[in-house]
Amino acid sequence: MSDLPHPSAPPREAAPVPGAILETALYARDLDAAEGFYGGVIGLEKAMRLGNRHLFFRIGAAMLLIFNPEETVRPPQDPALPVPPHGATGAGHVCFALSRDEIARMRRRLVDAGQEIEAEFDWPNGARSLYLRDPAGNSVEFAEPRLWQG
């Protein structure tokens, strides 16, 4: 049997290609520590927190979602918001876009806050990256956007 459409069938519409990431999620059991790190140390704008379940930060037009994996593996309690159970174990990764100068300023802010820098280097294309760990062990990177440009 052929996968080709029948000659009289209307042409298939091409599937859309996403143009941006709207949200990304990391997991942390200690939301107070995550809030102190992402809101206090890094300076992200907190959008909302729901008890010990989740914590959301606004980053431009996107959102960083921090979920407690012990809570998100449970089935949804609100039938109006049937978000499927989810979660992850082990360290995740997020990378924030900053210019080279902003990375240097963020480095000073992080060191002043007692944060340990895990790695800092220039990629073969010349883009700068700086890495550290959040309180849950997730890998947090700051990099120049040109890291992924041509």
CATH of the domain at 46: 3.10.180.10
Cα–Cα distance for residue pair 126/121, rounded to 1 Å: 9
Question: Does residue 86 lie in a domain region?
Answer: no
Does any domain span residue 133?
Answer: yes
Is the pLDDT reported for residue 141 higher than 90? yes
Kindly state whether residue 6 falls inside one of the protein's structural domains. no
Q: What are phi and psi of 140, to 5 degrees?
A: -115, 125
Stretch (H or E) spanning 124: none
Residue with tokens 């009289």: 8
Q: Is residue 84 part of a domain?
A: no
Q: Is residue 131 part of a domain?
A: yes
Kindly write down the DSSP assignment for every residue of 78-91, as one continuous string.
Answer: -TTS-PPP----S-
Model pLDDT for residues 17-47, shown as the tens digit of each residue: 888 899 999 999 999 999 999 999 999 999 9
Each residue of 71-106: pLDDT tens digit?
999 888 888 888 888 888 889 999 999 999 999 999
Assigned domain for 7 exists? no
Q: 141: domain range?
A: 23-73+91-148
- In this prediction, residue 132 carries a pLDDT of 98
pLDDT for residue 38 = 98
The count of structural domains within the chain is 1
In this prediction, residue 3 has a pLDDT band, given cuts at 50, 70 and 90, of low
According to the model, what pLDDT value does residue 100 have?
A: 97
Residue 83 or residue 112, greater confidence: 112
